[in-house]
Amino acid sequence: MNDICVALVIFRSSIGQPRENLDRMVQWVCMASQAGADVVCFPEMNISGYSVQSAGIMKPEQIPGPASDRLSDLAKGEKIAILAGMAEMDGAGLYASHILATPDGRIGVYRKLYIAPPEQGMFSPAGQVPVFPIKGVLCGVQLCYDAHFPELSALMAVKGADVIFFPHASPRGTPEEKYVSWMRHLPARAYDNGIFVLACNQTGDNGQGLHFPGLALAIGPDGHILKKDIGGNESLLVIHLRAESLASVRNHRMRYFLPNRRPELYRSLYMVH
């Protein structure tokens, strides 16, 4: 991979106010660009807000559509890749989606694959596992509940991902409590696969009874914390991801496990329902 500078945004989203949320995103995108970031990542569903009560209140859109068009213009204008989340409606259902808008006009979309039990009456599960090139670095995206399924991170790593973003809309608890929760599984995703893991959450009250503990976290391919913010407020966390950090793990015969996988052993696992 190339060296890359990443910005993670802890962001307060008002539910059903996509225009207001997009307006407020502009300042954070500009701050990230001025800090030298190549890509800025916002939390899950930050454009539409997050709800498991009503699909309509989130004002879902198609992609391409007004929100993705505006993100594309902003990415071009600020010369920075943007990752941002929204409720996406198409003929097949409603998806929790994350958009990648790049300065050269590309639009990529990741749709959430694993739907948490409280979300299952509303969102549809996707079936594709894309990875996206950003400034010469292959990146994966997983949304919140996706992070609890180790095979998904392994598959993205096998597809060449050097970095996986984990945008969250995870309510309840304090930032410190949510950090303890994340530390149970996110370092393992980084360490087992030899990848960078980057996570951020919404913060504050969404106007519909949910409160989000604001935090952001960066983990190196050795499983160690690179940087964190558990202050609970809206903020920008900027991290420089170094190619040499990745190489030090992947060139070590006892610290890079992915090449020694034995997929033939797992076939029976996926035949059990």
Q: Residue 44: its pLDDT value, please? A: 98
**How crowded is residue 236: how many other Cβ atoms within 10 Å of its Cβ?**
20
Q: Residue 75: its pLDDT value, please? A: 98
Query: Could you give the number of structural domains in the chain?
Result: 1
Q: Write the CA distances from 174 to 20, 134, 165, 192, 215, integer angstroms.
A: 26, 33, 22, 28, 9
54 CA to centre of own chain: 23
Contact 142, 165 (CB under 8 A): yes
Helices (H), 11-165: 18-34, 66-78, 150-158
CATH for 186: 3.60.110.10
Q: What is the pTM of this model?
A: 0.96
- Hey, what amino acid is at 164? I
- pLDDT tens-place values along the chain, 273 residues long: 899 999 999 999 999 899 999 999 999 999 999 999 999 999 999 999 999 888 889 999 999 999 999 999 999 999 999 999 999 999 889 999 999 999 999 999 999 999 999 999 999 999 999 999 999 999 999 999 999 999 999 999 999 999 999 999 999 999 999 999 999 999 999 999 999 999 999 999 988 889 999 999 999 999 999 999 999 999 999 999 999 999 999 999 899 999 999 999 988 877 655
- Mind giving me the DSSP string for 32-56? HHHTT-SEEEPPTTTTT---SS-SG
Residue-range definition of the domain harbouring residue 217 = 4-271
pLDDT digits (tens, 9 = 90+) for 78-124: 999 999 999 999 988 999 999 999 999 999 999 999 999 999 999 99
pLDDT digits (tens, 9 = 90+) for 144-170: 999 999 999 999 999 999 999 999 999
Q: Residue 272: its pLDDT value, please? A: 58
Q: Residue 208: its pLDDT value, please? A: 82
Residues 6+ apart with CB under 8 A from 223: 187, 188, 190, 191
Q: Residue 66: its pLDDT value, please? A: 96
Which residue in 45, 235, 224, 39 sits closest to 137, CA to CA?
39
